[in-house]
């Protein structure tokens, strides 16, 4: 990676901003967030407690733990004051849980964390915004929720309004705001918190390019002021640009810590087997899909590994695996590709070419894979969603899943990466340029 | 959790130690004090938002108790002809409805407050006690508005004020303590058991009949008085009528009042500790 990091500072006087030691966070699956206990269950539990107790005594040990999971386990690391640390890992690797523990939303189950300084998060901009209150009122309310003193908000008020760019509507209830205005105002408040430790999680995934530029700009400002930043993102380019060092989380553990370039390389090349694959279980398929039976959709890199992150400079293979229990006439199996903001990039079917169309006029029963290859240097960096469709034109749609799988395209080595900027557009082709002197 | 200095000097940063807590924990009122401005802002938000997009606006703070008063006056005053200890039945019941409505609204709102503010709880740290406290406080505005009507009625019926009126803030405080204490229990339980949300209207209804809102405390006699005093709101209503309307207190009032106050304090303190005990699971369970 050639792009130089804009934030290079001498190591601070050996003072730690964050010290994490043997941190573990356990969740009970049965009672995990969305499912709550009812009184009746508890009463039943109390009534049957002796029986359960006896059973548990008889059953082999270890069954008690079966309904709990460790979202984080044995995590130890330190962050020096003023450093910028990237946190990377797949979905479910424990990134969000780690940030929740560090921002004191949830308590660790074991181990300890020492934090020096105020923690601010760009984790959830606009928390506590009330739709009925005006922009001005929400600035004060949200500021207080984020832990600012009223005098502090008074002092920064003009700056916040300026930064948000919604001064015209500052006395309008925010329910009348467009989602973009809402987001900008919310971000403006959060960005002016000036915490000693800033935690950023995926803000870059929302908002338009202009907004994303502001976020990145604010982050590097914060870093340059010598504050500590923890930056979580799927966007490897942003991680590379903004952080010096990164940790890789996998299965709730820190599996790697290194200068960012190495950490990103480790993350992108290690085969995370479950990533990049969507399997359909029998109960997810509507009965009227028969005789078409989807099995899996996979995103594979040039080396045929299932991957969550692919490089834009390499070919991407999208593979649909399915079974036909009976022959189907005129079947076409296809894919939609959508950007993170829901724009269609393309739609394509496996019998688009006349040759294949003629050959598979009637597709016999059997086990198939339809593989689509996206050529190198086509997609811009970002997150994409793949949808799947199996139909016979004007006869029947057998199966459709518009959001089957998502993957990230990383722009490492893509054209124009010597400039640390977000390129507009969904494509990033390597085009021919000639410069002619006249 | 240990917290050291709170100075703003950059070289004297506040250090926070996070580690698992088990069982009962300290109330950590210092932390609550640091977030006092948040209590203010949330109270202000609740007040500000309450009557948004209503035609009658703040008038609702008057209409609701007045309508209840008229219904009670018709049913209990006229049809059942209950004794109102020498003052007009309307003002007799209105003086009780004011603290009662303050209490029942505070209890219900607080009981649901953890769940209704779940998006804040699951995303940002602040002492969770801020939410129930500000919910209870926000009910006071309605109370004071409705109180103006009571003052008007006292003039209209030419009911003389006695020095006892200076004790009214104490009974108001007792109302708030009771509401917060009960609300803390319900709000913690509601995080785990959503049944609480369904039970609350029923509990409110029952509690109202156990409190002498529509009837006179004089109907309760003998040892029943001691059981009746276990309900702090009974003490509040007796206190309001005594302070405002000059209705004489029962000779045993000092005992029953002490019981009411004692119960309210026990409920509040136990509620605070139970809330703190459950607080660590809120973000994961709500």
Residue B2 has pLDDT above 80, yes or no: no
Residue B120 has pLDDT above 50, yes or no: yes
Look at residue A2 in the predicted model and tell me its pLDDT. Answer: 39
Cα(A228)–Cα(B135) distance, integer angstroms: 36
Chain B contact for A150 (CB, 8 A cutoff): yes
Residue A11 has pLDDT above 50, yes or no: no
Q: For a pLDDT cut of 70, what percent of chain A falls above it?
A: 82
Question: Quick check: B124 and A103 CB within 8 A?
Answer: yes
Chain B contact for A351 (CB, 8 A cutoff): no
Look at residue A42 in the predicted model and tell me its pLDDT. Answer: 67
Interface of A with B in 38-57 (CB under 8 A): 38-40, 42
Chain A residues in contact with B20 by the CB 8 A cut-off are: 107-111
Chain B residues in contact with A127 by the CB 8 A cut-off are: 119-120, 123-124
Cα(A370)–Cα(A415) distance, integer angstroms: 30
Read off the DSSP letter of residue A396. Answer: E
Residue B7 has pLDDT above 60, yes or no: no
Closest Cα in chain B to A35 = B285
Residue B14 has pLDDT above 90, yes or no: no
Question: Quick check: B192 and A36 CB within 8 A?
Answer: yes
Cα(A170)–Cα(B42) distance, integer angstroms: 20
3-class secondary structure, B237: helix
Is residue A181 within 8 Å of A154, Cβ to Cβ?
no
Q: Rounded to a whole number, what is the distance in Å from the CA of B171 to chain A's nearest CA?
A: 31
Q: Highest-confidence range of A262-271, A338-347, B46-55, B61-70, by mean pLDDT?
A: B61-70
Residue A64 has pLDDT above 80, yes or no: no
Closest Cα in chain A to B16 = A115
3-class secondary structure, B16: strand
The lowest-confidence range among A201-210, A254-263, B224-233 is: A201-210
3-class secondary structure, B39: helix
Mean of the pLDDT values across residues A78-91? 87
Interface test with B, best of A19, A42, A70, A107 (most B CBs within 10 A): A107
Q: Highest-confidence range of A26-35, A338-347, A355-364, by mean pLDDT?
A: A355-364
Read off the DSSP letter of residue B78. Answer: I
- Taking the CA atoms of residue B80, residue B84, residue B88 and residue B91 in that order, the dihedral angle to the nearest 10 degrees is -100
Q: Rounded to a whole number, what is the distance in Å from the CA of A88 to chain B's nearest CA?
A: 20
Chain A residues in contact with B286 by the CB 8 A cut-off are: 33, 36
Closest Cα in chain B to A145 = B38
SS3 per residue for chain A: CCCCCCCCCCCCCCCEEEEEEEEEEEEECCCCCCCCCCHHHHHHHHHCHHHHHHHHHHCCCCHHHHHEEEEEEEEEEEEECCCEEEEEECCCCCHHHHHHHHCCCCCCCEEEEEEECCEEECCCCCCCCCCCCEHHHHHHHHHHHCCCCHHHHHHHHHHHHHHHCCHHHCCCEHHHCCHHHHHHHHHHHHHCCCCCEEEEECHHHCCCHHHHHHHHHHHHHHHHCCCEEEEECCCHHHHHHHCCEEEEEECCEEEEEEEHHHHHHHHHHCCCCCCCEEECCHHHCCHHHCCEEEEEEEEECCCCCECCEEECCCCEEEEEEEEECCCEECEEEEEEEEECCCCEEEEEECCCCHHHHHHCCEECCEEEEEEEEECCCCECCEEEEEEEEEEECCCEEEEEEEEEEEEEEECCCCCCCCCCCCCCCCECCCCCCCCCCC
The lowest-confidence range among A267-271, B171-175, B256-260 is: A267-271
Look at residue B252 in the predicted model and tell me its pLDDT. Answer: 80
* Residue A342 pLDDT level (bands cut at 50, 70, 90): low
Q: Rounded to a whole number, what is the distance in Å from the CA of B130 to chain A's nearest CA?
A: 10
3-class secondary structure, B17: strand
Chain B contact for A154 (CB, 8 A cutoff): no
Q: Highest-confidence range of A94-98, A234-238, B72-76, by mean pLDDT?
A: B72-76
State how far Cα A187 lies from the chain centre. 19
Q: List the domains of chain A with CATH numbers.
A: 16-269 (3.40.50.300), 280-410 (2.70.50.60)
Residue A264 burial (CB count, 10 A): 24
Residue B239 has pLDDT above 60, yes or no: yes
Nearest to B119 among A103, A127, A144 (CB): A127
Residue A241 has pLDDT above 80, yes or no: no
Residue A275 has pLDDT above 90, yes or no: no
- Taking the CA atoms of residue B133, residue B134, residue B140 and residue B142 in that order, the dihedral angle to the nearest 10 degrees is -140
Q: For a pLDDT cut of 90, what percent of chain B falls above it?
A: 56
Residue B131 has pLDDT above 80, yes or no: yes
First to last CA, chain B: 22
Q: For a pLDDT cut of 70, what percent of chain B falls above it?
A: 96
Cα(A165)–Cα(A210) distance, integer angstroms: 12
Question: Quick check: B285 and A130 CB within 8 A?
Answer: no
Look at residue A37 in the predicted model and tell me its pLDDT. Answer: 57
Which tokens is A96 given? 């969000």
Question: Left, alpha or beta for A251 (phi > 0: left; psi -120 to 50: alpha)?
Answer: left
Look at residue B39 in the predicted model and tell me its pLDDT. Answer: 94
């Amino acid at each position: 990676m050639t792009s130089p990091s804009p934030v290079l500072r001498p190591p601070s006087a050996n003072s730690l901003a964050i010290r994490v030691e043997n941190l573990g966070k356990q969740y009970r699956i049965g009672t995990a967030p969305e499912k709550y206990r009812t009184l009746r269950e508890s009463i039943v539990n109390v009534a049957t407690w002796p029986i359960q107790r006896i059973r548990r005594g008889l059953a082999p040990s270890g069954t008690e733990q079966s309904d709990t999971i460790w979202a984080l386990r044995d995590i130890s690391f330190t962050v020096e004051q003023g450093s910028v640390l990237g946190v990377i890992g797949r979905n479910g690797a424990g990134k969000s849980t780690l940030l929740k523990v560090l921002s004191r939303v949830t308590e660790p189950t074991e181990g300890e964390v020492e934090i020096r300084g105020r923690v601010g998060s760009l984790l959830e901009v606009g928390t506590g915004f009330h739709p009925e209150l005006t922009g001005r009122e929400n600035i004060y309310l949200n500021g207080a929720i984020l832990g600012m003193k009223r005098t502090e908000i008074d002092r920064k008020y003009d700056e916040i309004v300026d930064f948000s760019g919604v001064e015209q509507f500052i006395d309008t209830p925010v329910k009348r705001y467009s989602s973009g205005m809402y987001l900008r105002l919310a971000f403006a408040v959060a960005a002016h918190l000036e915490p000693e430790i800033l935690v950023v999680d995926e803000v870059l995934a929302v908002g338009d390019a202009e907004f994303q530029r502001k976020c990145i700009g604010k982050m590097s400002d914060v870093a340059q002021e010598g504050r500590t930043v923890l930056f979580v993102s799927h966007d490897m380019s942003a991680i590379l640009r903004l952080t010096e060092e990164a940790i890789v989380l996998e299965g709730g553990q820190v599996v790697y810590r290194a200068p960012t370039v190495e950490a990103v390389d480790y993350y992108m090349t290690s085969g995370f087997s479950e990533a990049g694959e969507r399997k359909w279980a029998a109960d997810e398929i509507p009965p009227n899909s028969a005789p078409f039976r989807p099995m899996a959709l996979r995103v594979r890199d040039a080396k045929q590994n299932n991957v969550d992150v692919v490089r834009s400079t390499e070919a991407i293979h999208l593979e649909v695996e399915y079974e036909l229990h009976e022959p189907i006439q005129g079947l076409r199996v296809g894919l939609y590709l959508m950007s993170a903001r829901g724009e269609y990039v393309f739609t394509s079917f496996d019998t688009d070419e006349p040759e294949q169309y003629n050959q598979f006029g009637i597709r016999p029963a059997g086990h198939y894979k339809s593989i689509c290859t996206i050529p190198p240097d086509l997609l811009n960096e970002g997150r994409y969603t793949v949808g799947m469709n199996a139909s016979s034109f004007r006869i029947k749609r057998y199966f459709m899943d518009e959001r089957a799988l998502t993957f990230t395209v990383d722009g490492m080595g893509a054209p124009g990466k010597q400039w640390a900027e977000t390129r507009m557009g969904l494509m990033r082709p390597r085009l021919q340029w000639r410069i002619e002197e006249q | 959790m240990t917290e050291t200095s709170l100075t703003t000097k950059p070289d004297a940063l506040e250090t926070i130690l996070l580690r698992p807590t088990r069982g009962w924990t300290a109330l950590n009122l210092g932390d609550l004090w640091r977030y006092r401005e948040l209590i203010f802002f949330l109270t202000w938000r609740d007040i500000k938002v309450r009557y948004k997009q209503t035609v009658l606006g703040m008038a609702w703070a008057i209409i609701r108790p007045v309508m209840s008063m008229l219904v009670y006056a018709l049913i209990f005053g006229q049809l059942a002809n209950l004794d109102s200890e020498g003052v007009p039945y309307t003002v007799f019941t209105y003086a009780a409805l004011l603290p009662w409505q303050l209490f029942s609204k505070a209890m219900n709102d607080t009981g649901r407050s953890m769940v209704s503010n779940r998006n804040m709880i699951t995303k940002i740290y602040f002492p969770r006690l801020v939410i129930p406290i500000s919910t209870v406080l926000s009910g006071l505005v309605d109370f004071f508005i409705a109180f103006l009507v009571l003052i008007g009625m006292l003039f209209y019926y030419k009911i003389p004020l006695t020095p006892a009126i200076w004790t009214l803030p104490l009974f108001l405080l007792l109302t708030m303590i009771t509401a917060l204490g009960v609300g803390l229990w319900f709000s913690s339980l509601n995080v785990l058991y959503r049944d609480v949300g369904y039970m609350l209207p029923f509990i409110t209804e029952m509690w109202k009949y156990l409190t002498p809102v529509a009837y006179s405390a004089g109907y309760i006699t003998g040892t029943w008085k001691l059981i009746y005093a276990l309900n702090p709101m009974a003490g509040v209503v007796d206190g309001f009528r005594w302070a405002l309307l000059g209705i004489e207190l029962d000779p045993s009032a000092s005992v029953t009042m002490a019981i009411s106050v004692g119960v309210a304090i026990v409920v509040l303190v136990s509620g605070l500790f139970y809330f703190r005990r459950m607080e660590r699971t809120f973000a994961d369970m709500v």
